[in-house]
Amino acid sequence: MDRVLTLEFVRVTETAAVKAGRLMGKGDKMGADQLAVDGMHSILSTVPIDGTVVIGEGEMDEAPMLYIGEKVGAGGTEVDIAVDPLEGTNLTAKGQDGSIAVMAIARKGNLLHAPDMYMEKLCVGPRAKGRIDLTQPVQENLRRIAEGLERGIDDLTVVILDRPRHQEIIDECRSAGARIKLITDGDVSPAVDAGIEGSGVHVLMGIGGAPEGVLAAAALKCLGGDMQARLIPYTDEERKRCWEMGIDDINRVMTLDDLVKGDDCIFSATAITDTPMMRGVQYFGGGARTMSVVMRYKSGTIRFIDTFHRFDKKAKWSIHL
């Protein structure tokens, strides 16, 4: 993929964020999600790619836009795309930290077609690469991660979704001495942060969405971090979906390269509300300011992009609520 595409993808997540951010705190998660989807969809259609959505808003019959299998782009390199136009709808609806507009792109066939089900994840940064093992107990993983980061377990901050299903791993982290940040939603942003030195997040663990897992994997691959994951189907229907998608050993521990194959991927995210590394969208009379992070695996370059948008210059910013 051409490096010039990198900036094109930032424009896509920026637009989704500026649109959805308008509804911050309004208690309307569906409305915010719809604005993000519209924004992402409209800019994607101008990007010079021949793209197929492989992770999106749902199946064709349930999502009018950015559904799985939808062709997007103005024509060009053949790529597969994973999108979550508004990752953390509740967070945006309540004006809480951690919601982002996010997408990942890879060559055709290189993104795991993760079905909409749960996935167990363990995400770390470059200094803990090669040390994690999802089949080992939490405490053993923390010991190895701390060793990689040359510190004690009590100097690690682990992010975990605050759910009853995580009580056991929360207890294990606590008894190992790790600091914990329990979040109500949105595990993509902290997974990315785990890969960025200085973010204050060292580990993301626990069970969240599988589509979100693939997005996190694309970022961690670009960042040189590491991730292991396992699909957690709860129903026969979900197990069937896995087989249909060509995943036969459902319980297998997947590595970063199983989630995102090849040596060509790009990841872009724009903050809607604040994240540890980025300010959420700020609006001022006639414009908005966004912060994004965009990365490309080939070059390993990570860019934080701080953008001013002028609403009087482009019709695309007008939204009718």
Task: Quote the tokens at residue 51.
Answer: 């793209």
Least separation in angstroms between CB 271 and Mg ion: 15
Our finding on whether 208 is near ligand VTB (CB under 6 A) is yes
Mark the segment that binds ligand VTB (CB under 6 A) among 204-212, 235-243, 271-279, 285-293.
204-212
Nearest 5°: CA angle at 210, between 209 and 212? 70
Angle between helices 138-148 and 167-176 (to 10 degrees): 50
Contacting residues toward Mg ion, per CB under 5 A: 84, 86-87
Our finding on whether 14 is near ligand VTB (CB under 6 A) is no
Task: Quote the tokens at residue 45.
Answer: 């259609």
Nearer to ligand VTB, 14 or 87 (CB): 87
The DSSP bridge pattern shows strands 287-296 and 77-87 to be unpaired
Our finding on whether 186 is near ligand VTB (CB under 6 A) is yes
Start-to-end C-alpha separation, the chain: 37
Least separation in angstroms between CB 86 and ligand VTB: 8
Nearer to ligand VTB, 6 or 270 (CB): 270
Our finding on whether 98 is near ligand VTB (CB under 6 A) is no
Which residue of the chain is nearest Mg ion when measured via CB?
A: 87
Using CB under 6 A as the binding rule, the residues of this chain from 210 to 269 that contact ligand VTB are 212
Q: Who contacts 219 (Cβ-Cβ below 8 Å, separation ≥6)?
A: 104, 188, 191, 192, 195, 225, 267, 269, 295
Identify whether the C-beta of residue 169 lies closer than 8 Å to the C-beta of residue 80. Answer: no
Nearer to Mg ion, 87 or 226 (CB): 87
Burial pattern 160-194, b for ≥16 Cβ within 10 A else e, equals bbeeeebeebbebbeebebebeebebbbbbbbbbb
Least separation in angstroms between CB 85 and Mg ion: 6
Reported as type and span, the H/E element at residue 140 is: helix 138-148
Kindly tell me which residue out of 127, 163, 239, 316 binds ligand VTB, with binding defined by CB under 6 A. 163
Alpha helices, DSSP H, located in 61-103 = 89-94
Least separation in angstroms between CB 133 and Mg ion: 27
14 contacts which partner out of ligand VTB, Mg ion, none, CB within 5 to 8 A by kind? none
Our finding on whether 120 is near ligand VTB (CB under 6 A) is no
Using CB under 6 A as the binding rule, the residues of this chain from 34 to 93 that contact ligand VTB are 87-88
Identify whether the C-beta of residue 303 lies closer than 8 Å to the C-beta of residue 295. Answer: yes
Least separation in angstroms between CB 159 and ligand VTB: 11
Q: Which residues bind ligand VTB (CB under 6 A)?
A: 87-88, 161, 163, 185-188, 208-209, 212
